[in-house]
Every structure is written in structure tokens, then in C-alpha cells.
Amino acid sequence: MSTINWVPIPGKIETRWTKDVDPVSPFPEYPRPQLTRPEWINLNGLWNYAILPSQYDHPNHYQGQILVPFPVESALSGVGKALLPEERLWYRHNFDLPSDWKHQRVILHFGAVDWQTDVWCNGHHLGQHQGGYDPFSFELTTFLRYGAENELVVKVYDPTSEGQQERGKQTLKPGFVFYTAVSGIWQTVWLEPVPEIFIQQVSLTPSIEPARLRINTSLSDNLENGTIQVLIKDGGLTLQQVVGMSQEEVIIELPEAHLWSPDDPNLYDLEISLLQDNSVIDRVGSYCGFREISLQKDEGGIPRIYLNRKQLFQYGPLDQGYWPDGLYTAPTDEALKDDIEFCKSLGMNMIRKHIKVESARWYYHCDRLGMLVWQDMPCGGKVPHTLVLGMGFLLNLKIRDDQRYHWFGREAPQVRENFKRELQAMMKNLHNHPSIVVWVPFNESWGQFNAREIGDWVKSSDPTRLVDVASGWFDQGNGDIYSIHKYVGPAIPRLEKERAVALSEFGGIGLKVEGHLWQEEKLFAYRMVKTSEELTNWYLNLMDKLMTLKKMGLVAAIYTEICDVEYEINGFLTYDREVLKMDREQIQAAHRQLLNSDQ
């Protein structure tokens, strides 16, 4: 493995995958499993970078090299510097193109960049994108040089906690339950050749009774008399072939569909072709899973969550998606997958992805491995004043959120509009993943506003999933789930006639493991213990209580959390994922009993 001009910044703990990072080609895997084409070029690797005051229009020189796609603050970037609000982060990268791409259109894709991004190709400004969590692209076709190098320049502005944009738990002053800021490119950058008219997006919506897949395709341009041909395959064997007009919905019926579930995560391959006059213009690959998540009442009239028409209690960890070496970016795809496999190995069936959106490959691994996902929208605005929080956390008051926007950092109309835009982008981008079963727009009132309006919009936009509108407190009475946070807990909210009740955060018991800490001072957990045995006993006691709450009507519970994160030391695992703090066999047995017992 080459080590050209790159080493991780020392001083913090690493994961066992740090040594596997290849600076020549980090994250070589295809970045978009739901829409694949055979030809592409990965631009990840060493780029030039500069951090300059905002008044500079362009760098006169670059200060060094940064390893893309690791955020500039991370050790794996090779930089390890904070980007301040009054600064801009600049990137430059040169690339060549195959000569046989010359007669095709060429698209530049960014998996995610935090937060505002301007891009130039060979001196031409391609455009600007705002949003730290959704993929975006620009066309390069008319600006490219063949037989000569091409120059790509990227400028990033990220105010982090000094702004009101969606940013999750990032802050310029880490501590307590807030973590190191993440700026710049943090997911794969890549090039793709496409035909003159191409398939831009595919939307897949399954149902199970009848077993049916609705396919909607978006094209780059209008195509007269264009048709869409869809093949659904199982292990290479074509099961069905359907053709429809390109501007219309195509429906595949599969009467004997093998349903997707955590215990049996069956996926079907799709081949989707765009045709004109019986000639294939474009072809993409994808996959789907047939599953249904629903809310129904049990025999006692209690609303419960059902998967494929069967009751399913959901249990798993809160997952912040942070890494000590890469921060927002896992060191490798294997590391990304390992967190999911760890949860599966402990017998859990759900992960709550907490106020962060992951790369497409994380959801692909959940789809393939069989892990249910409750997907949060990253928070923005501001955390309300302690007195306001106390109204929810201590008194459980039902504060309205359609007024007093200044309490939540949402007084500016453009800030509210940005939230809606980024929420819509997240839902659209992740729509095809069968693993995602619950949307969570707001968490613990951070930046919360108009939750009735927004929750109802989320539900109407995607009726195939459930909605936990306001996780924690300041519930506005809508959505499918009424959820509370109770530390250490557990506890059950009052039962409702039409909504299920969930414990969407509890636990948070901390154990300090020397040699596996981000730092030594100001460590936080909701309760501290001193030994692994004590932690295991505490946890098993919580599981016993959950058994009782499940019988009373609780439909899901989420433990804080999968691993320690910086100042927080309340994970199943240490932050470097090296030490499981509890006895594996005992907690596996407790999870099996919790998930498999009758209601």
C-alpha cells in the first residue's frame, strides 16, 4: 500500500481499520448501489487543499494535501484542522478521462459535502449546493478536455454551530453530547459517463398484498416514444419482464414474492432499461425488497407495529455515526458494515440513525443484512434555552411549536425553508431502501417548528413508512408513534388509542475503559458504573423491565448507544469498537427473550 505524502494525524485513538485506508484509492466500492452503471471513475484520494479567510476569491497556492473523502477535521484527512465560519475550505484536483467517453455526457457526483459547496471545472463555475447530507451532481460535458488534464476546484463554507443550518451534533466547542465539527467533502466523489438522454432517478415502492412493485423513472430530458423495460431477477433468473411508457409508472406483479424481513432479508435484482424504437439507450441496475410496515391494533385494542402483517417488537441502539479516526466518515466500507453486523450479532433488529444521514452504502448494508432503521433528520436551528428544555424534559409539558420560533432558532423563514428542503432531499434520496421503516423529523425540540404540518407532510409524502414526528418531547399529537426519552429508564408513555408508544431513548449507562478513550476529562453518561459485571447486571435489569413494558403496550425501545462517542462513554462498545463492555452471551440471551416472547 502506498503512503505518498499522507499519514493520519496522531494524538487520538484509532480503529483497527485505520491501517486499511489506502490513500491511493479510499472507498473504492461503487457508491450508489440503488442505481448502478458499469462505467465510472472514483476521484477519491489525495487532493490539494487550502483554508483561507472568506474574502479570498481563489487560493494563490495550496497548503498541502487532504485525503478525500475524509472531513478536514478528521485524523484520516491528514489535515486535522477546524474550519471556522469566517474561513473557506478550498480543494483542487486534476483528472484525466478515457478517450471513449468523448461522445458521452459526463456527470460529476458528490456523495455529501458539508455544508455549502461551489464547484468549478477548468475555470467554469458549475453551480452551488447547500446541504450537508444529500448527494448532488453537476454536468461537466462542455467544459472537459480530452488528451489533457482537467482541473476541479471546490470551495466549501460551513458555519457549523455558528449557523442555523441542519448539522446534527456537530459543534465548534465539543463537550457533553455534542461532537467535533465536520466540514467539506465526507463521502465519495466520482465521475460517470451517460448517454445523451439517461435515467436520472428511479423510485421503487413495494407492497405485499398484492405483492407489487411500482417503478417511477425520471429522465434527464424528454424522450418521445420512449419506453421503460424492467426485469426483476432472483439469483440471475428473470422472474418478470414489464414494459411501459417512459413518463408513466411501471408496475410489476410478483404473486409469490419472497418477503424481506430482519430474519430473512431477501432482495431482488432489477435491470431497468430506457428504450427508443426497440433500441436500448440507457440501462441501470438496482434492487428491491418486498416488505410492509404498518400500525394495527392487537386483540386488546392496543396499537402495535406490524412487519408484513405480523407483530414485531423493535429493539436496538442509538447510532450517532461517528468514528474516532474519520469522524463522519468510517475508515473503510468494512468498518461501515461492521457496526451493523455487530448489532445483528447481539440479536438486535433495529438501529436508530441519530440526527445524521449516512452514505448510500450504509443503507445498502442494512438492506442486505436485515437491519431495520429509524431514520432521523439532522437537527438545525438551535437547542432551546434550559428553561424551555425543562418544560419538556422535566415537566413533560406540551409546548406548541408553531409560534415562538426564536426559542428554536427558526425565526428566519429561509431557515425553516432550508429544513424542509433538506428533509425532502433526504426522504427522496433514501426512499428505495426497504430497511428504513420510520422517519423521525425532530428530536428533543432542537430546531423544532410546525411539527403538525411537517409530520403530516412526511406521512402523506411517504405512506409506506411510519412517522415519529417529535422524538423525546414537545409532541404535537400527530404521526404514528408517540415516543419518549427516559434516562436511565426504562418507562412507557401513556397508551393512546390511535398511535403506538415507543421508548425512543433510554439507558446511557457509562463505563470508562482505559486505553480506549477519546480524552480523559469531562466524561459523560447518565449513570456511571465501575466494572463490566456491574454494567451487565444493570443492563439485564433494564431488559427485565422492558419485558413488562412490552406486555403493557410498548412497541419499540432504543438503547443509548452503540459505542462511546468522544465525551460520551455510554456505548455497548468503546469508541474504537475494540471492547464490548458487557458480557456478550448474557445480553444476547436477554435480547432473544425480549424480541421472541409473546406480547
Sign of the four-CA dihedral 532, 537, 542, 543: positive
Q: Nearest-CA neighbor of 133 among 422, 433, 443?
A: 422
- Going through 487-553 in order, the beta strands assigned E by DSSP cover 500-507, 509-511, 527-529
Cβ-proximal residues to 474 (8 Å cutoff; 6+ apart), any chain = 392, 398, 399, 401, 442, 445, 448, 451
Look at residues 194, 228, 251 and tell me which one is the last residue of a structural domain: 194
| Cβ pair 335, 17 in contact under 8 A | yes
Regarding whether 544 and 396 lie in a shared domain, the answer is yes
CATH at 337: 3.20.20.80
CATH at 92: 2.60.120.260
Give the span between the Cα atoms of 574 and 320, in whole angstroms: 13
Q: What is the mean pLDDT of residues 463-476?
A: 95
Flag whether 226 is in a domain. yes
For residue 1, what pLDDT is reported? Answer: 40
For residue 99, what pLDDT is reported? Answer: 93
Flag whether 297 is in a domain. no
33-60 confidence digits (pLDDT tens): 999 999 999 999 999 999 999 999 999 9
496-532 confidence digits (pLDDT tens): 999 999 999 999 999 999 999 999 999 999 999 999 9
Question: What is the 8-class DSSP label of residue 21?
Answer: -
**Would you put residue 532 in left (φ > 0), alpha (ψ -120 to 50) or beta?**
alpha
Q: What is the mean pLDDT of residues 454-458?
A: 97
556-589 confidence digits (pLDDT tens): 999 999 999 999 999 999 999 999 999 999 999 9
Q: What is the mean pLDDT of residues 422-450?
A: 97
Q: Nearest-CA neighbor of 366 among 285, 280, 437, 315?
A: 437
Q: Nearest-CA neighbor of 327 among 543, 15, 118?
A: 15
- The x, y and z cell numbers of residue 394, run together, are 422535566
Give the span between the Cα atoms of 70 and 183, in whole angstroms: 9
Give the span between the Cα atoms of 275 and 298, in whole angstroms: 48
Rounded to the nearest integer, the mean pLDDT of the chain is 95
Regarding whether 455 and 329 lie in a shared domain, the answer is yes
Residue 548 CB neighbour total at 10 angstroms: 11
Flag whether 92 is in a domain. yes
Regarding whether 529 and 439 lie in a shared domain, the answer is yes
Helices (H), 383-476: 386-393, 413-430, 451-461
Flag whether 517 is in a domain. yes
Regarding whether 277 and 401 lie in a shared domain, the answer is no
- The x, y and z cell numbers of residue 221, run together, are 430530458
245-256 confidence digits (pLDDT tens): 988 999 999 999
φ, ψ (nearest 5 deg) of residue 422: -70, -35
Regarding whether 209 and 174 lie in a shared domain, the answer is no
For residue 599, what pLDDT is reported? Answer: 58
Task: Rounding to the nearest 10 degrees, give the CA dihedral for residues 438, 372, 132, 407.
Answer: 40
Flag whether 298 is in a domain. no
Give the span between the Cα atoms of 27 and 188, in whole angstroms: 7
Q: What is the mean pLDDT of residues 136-158?
A: 96
Looking only at the bridges linking them, the beta strands covering 554-560 and 314-319 are parallel
The band of 378, judged by pLDDT with boundaries at 50, 70 and 90, is: very high
| Cβ pair 195, 281 in contact under 8 A | yes
Look at residues 254, 288, 322 and tell me which one is the last residue of a structural domain: 288
For residue 385, what pLDDT is reported? Answer: 84
Regarding whether 240 and 160 lie in a shared domain, the answer is no
The count of structural domains within the chain is 3
Flag whether 576 is in a domain. yes
Residue 2 has pLDDT above 70, yes or no: no
The band of 5, judged by pLDDT with boundaries at 50, 70 and 90, is: confident
Give the span between the Cα atoms of 95 and 108, in whole angstroms: 12
Regarding whether 453 and 389 lie in a shared domain, the answer is yes
Regarding whether 208 and 176 lie in a shared domain, the answer is no
Residue with cell 434492487: 287
For residue 196, what pLDDT is reported? Answer: 96
Q: What percent of the chain has pLDDT over 70?
A: 99
| Cβ pair 88, 159 in contact under 8 A | no
Q: Which domain holds residue 250?
A: 199-288
Regarding whether 506 and 547 lie in a shared domain, the answer is yes
Regarding whether 151 and 66 lie in a shared domain, the answer is yes
Q: What is the 3-state secondary structure (H, E, C) of 179-206?
A: EECCCEECCCEEEEEECCCCEEEEEEEE
φ, ψ (nearest 5 deg) of residue 361: -70, -30
Regarding whether 323 and 257 lie in a shared domain, the answer is no
End-to-end Cα, the chain, rounded Å: 53
φ, ψ (nearest 5 deg) of residue 158: -145, 100
CATH at 258: 2.60.40.10
Identity of residue 501: V
Flag whether 495 is in a domain. yes
SS3 assignment, position 560: strand
Residue with cell 478515457: 98
Give the span between the Cα atoms of 213 and 206, in whole angstroms: 4
For residue 120, what pLDDT is reported? Answer: 98
Flag whether 7 is in a domain. no
Residues in a beta bridge with 208:
211
Regarding whether 205 and 116 lie in a shared domain, the answer is no
Look at residues 154, 169, 194 and tell me which one is the last residue of a structural domain: 194
For residue 388, what pLDDT is reported? Answer: 82
Looking only at the bridges linking them, the beta strands covering 509-511 and 527-529 are parallel
